[in-house]
Amino acid sequence: MSVDSFASQKAFAEANGGISFKLLADFHPKGAVAQAYGIYNEDRGVAGRSSFVIDSSGLILDARMYPPGELPDPQELLGIAKG
């Protein structure tokens, strides 16, 4: 998810090997979901880089914030999701 538009999300998916799962464009109202999760930076108009692992009942199993330039480890997140 990012506060970028649907078109930006589509380009991101294509540039990253054709990501097949849906990406959320938190575009309008811009940052509404990011604000709900407390990660929206009003001054910059962007969401902070973060990851949330949420189970099927909506319970947040794990939440992490990352400094600019640092990417989450997908394998680590998958391990959390699998329990």
- The pLDDT averaged over each successive group of 10 residues in the chain (83 residues) is 84 82 82 91 88 86 88 78 74
**Residue 21 token pair:** 């799962």
Q: Please report which residue ranges of 1-83 form alpha helices under DSSP H.
A: 6-15, 32-36, 74-82
Residue spans per domain, the chain: 1-48, 49-83
Q: What is the pTM of this model?
A: 0.66
**Residue 37 token pair:** 């999760």
**What pLDDT is stored for residue 45 in this prediction?**
87
**What pLDDT is stored for residue 38 in this prediction?**
92
